[in-house]
Amino acid sequence: MIFRFDLVLRFLPFLIQGVKITFLISLASISAGIVLGLIIAIARLSRLRAVSVAAGIYVDIVRAIPLLVILVWVFYVLPILTGFSLPPLLSSIVALSLYASGYIAEIYRAGIRSVEQWQWHAALALGMSPAQMMRRVILPQAVVRMLPPFGSMFVTLFKDSAIVSTIGVADLMRQGLSLSIALIRPTEVLTVVALLYLILTYPQTLWVNYLHRRFLSH
């Protein structure tokens, strides 16, 4: 068999368009997941048992359901239930955000609980309200400890975003599949796609390793 990687490289700009969509989905999803995850984490730490239990159930459900099932449910089932359909790109962001929020909520919760109890008591003794204590004392310290897990979550989400190709989103994986069919060169095209993912994710893993050494080594 004669491999024609040169033929694939001619269409590299076509694949790069998919890379842009992959980054867009990943950044939008992690951003939304961080916001939603914080809300859920605070709910889990609430003294109101009903709120805490509801947030815990949400986290357990999201973490127990495969990402593909969440994606398919948002894209196909949600429109049936609500009568309002989302385009594939937005459906992908919503599904990945929901998926990420369950894990990010636990990152927040662990980070918040890692702050020593005496600092909680000291903040309350100074007359701070719970909201002021969280904003001024607890979160600034917890966020530093959460940076490495956040980095790991982004790398995971970036790789898992390839699954959005199943609903027609023109990400890197979808562009690669389309090109492999057009050129009838699946071996070469999908190898190049795999190398592109490697090139994009390897620096991210190095960055996460640095964060672990920098903030969690002590």
**Domain extent listing, the chain:** 5-215
Q: Summarize the confidence of residues 50-57 as an average pLDDT.
A: 94
Contact 12, 176 (CB under 8 A): no
Flag whether pLDDT at 1 surpasses 80: no
Per residue in 148-189, pLDDT (tens digit) is 889 999 999 999 999 999 999 999 999 999 999 999 999 999
What single-letter amino acid sits at 21?
A: I
Return d(Cα 110, Cα 158) in angstroms, integer: 23
Per residue in 113-147, pLDDT (tens digit) is 888 888 888 888 888 887 788 888 888 888 888 88
Higher pLDDT, 142 or 198: 198
Q: Summarize the confidence of residues 195-203 as an average pLDDT.
A: 95
pLDDT the model gives residue 216: 65
Residue 83's CB: how many other CB atoms inside 10 A? 7
pLDDT the model gives residue 126: 83
Per residue in 77-95, pLDDT (tens digit) is 999 999 888 999 999 999 9
- DSSP H helices, the chain, are 5-9, 12-44, 49-64, 67-72, 78-82, 88-113, 117-125, 130-133, 139-160, 172-183, 186-215
Q: Which CATH superfamily is domain 5-215 in?
A: MetI-like (1.10.3720.10)
Higher pLDDT, 46 or 192: 192
pLDDT the model gives residue 118: 83
pLDDT the model gives residue 217: 61
Nearest CA among 170, 188, 165 for reference residue 9: 188
Flag whether pLDDT at 23 surpasses 80: yes
Nearest CA among 208, 59, 212 for reference residue 145: 212
Per residue in 56-72, pLDDT (tens digit) is 999 999 999 999 999 99
Flag whether pLDDT at 218 surpasses 70: no
Flag whether pLDDT at 99 surpasses 60: yes
